[in-house]
Amino acid sequence: MLKELRFQLTPNDQILKGSLGQLDILATNKWERPIYYTAGGFDGSLGLEKFYRADGLAYRVVPVETPYRSIIEIGDIDTEILYRLLMETFTWGRMNEDDVYLDYYTKRTLSVIRFRNMYTRLAIRLLDEGDRERAVGVLDRCMELAPSRVLPYDQYVTGITLPDGNGGTIHHEGIIEAYYLCGETDKANTLLKEYYNQLVDDYTYYNSLKSRHKVSIRQEMNEVLYQLEEMNILMQQFGQGDLMIELGLGAEDDLFSPLPGQQE
């Protein structure tokens, strides 16, 4: 527990009134009321991310310093608080019912708040604390609320590997890897196989387009290949040679190749 928060504002020639208001609140609040931010990694957060604690859909400023890893994983978490919020307090309506349709903006909002990442991060921390049973329950709850028909699978299912700016990488586990780590191999394999086949279908479609159209979807094509490679690494890491063979991959393959037209 820190006695004071030390941080440095980004050097420039002005401080906007909004920032002055925040500084006044931070200086005079004396921890009597909680202070929350909805995001980090931008000028308006004043560089306070290392003092964030992820309490559900917002970050609470706390007198505890947590080294900044990346924009994907900001601040610390308290497993008891976050578990209570995600598993007991938050309600999501009927979003996972067959007769409910989520429009584009709702799906985008769920992506922006990193819906799946919240549950995965909690599960990984619970597992680190030796609470495997609750970790599995958190992952199951996430998949119950957001199967692919409700919220299309994304990089928070496969995991994300980012450059750390120092020549290395930072890896954030996805739901598949979290299931493997919990010893739930069948659940991990079922999810991986389902998403793998979806991605191959997506790539096959993208590659069927004429060259003049491919130019505008090059990013989407690269994202598909990136996520396929993440799954390939997971299968090798967790010894899933039989699954690789089932998917048409050699046990020593380091790329998902050949995909239709990949060598074009």
Contact between 206 and 257 (Cβ < 8 Å): no
User: Of all helices (H) and strands (E), which one includes residue 205?
Assistant: helix 185-208
What pLDDT is stored for residue 255 in this prediction? 47
Contact between 230 and 174 (Cβ < 8 Å): yes
With a CB cutoff of 8 Å and minimum separation 6, the contacts of 141 are 86, 87, 119
Output 234-240 pairs: Cβ under 8 A, ≥24 positions apart. 234/158, 234/159, 234/176, 234/177, 234/180, 234/188, 234/192, 235/192, 237/180, 238/180, 238/185, 238/188, 240/185, 240/189, 240/192
Task: Judge residue 95's burial from the number of C-beta atoms within 10 Å of its C-beta, 0-12 exposed, 13-18 middle, 19 or more buried.
Answer: middle
Q: Which candidate, 186, 95, 208, places its Cα nearest to that of 139? A: 186
What pLDDT is stored for residue 11 in this prediction? 66
Per-residue pLDDT of the chain (264 residues; tens, 9 = 90+): 777 787 777 666 677 888 889 889 988 988 899 999 888 877 777 888 889 999 988 899 999 989 888 888 888 999 999 999 999 999 998 999 999 999 999 999 998 888 999 999 999 999 999 999 999 999 999 999 999 999 999 999 999 999 888 888 999 999 999 999 999 999 999 999 999 999 999 999 999 999 999 999 999 999 999 999 999 999 999 999 999 999 988 655 544 454 544 544
What pLDDT is stored for residue 260 in this prediction? 47
Contact between 126 and 83 (Cβ < 8 Å): yes
Cα dist from 167 to 73, 229, 242, 255, whole Å = 19, 20, 34, 22
Report the b/e string of 188-201 with b at 16+ CB within 10 A. Answer: bbebbeebbeebbe
With a CB cutoff of 8 Å and minimum separation 6, the contacts of 133 are none
pTM: 0.88
Position 146, amino acid: A
Q: DSSP 3-state assignment of 161?
A: strand
What pLDDT is stored for residue 60 in this prediction? 93
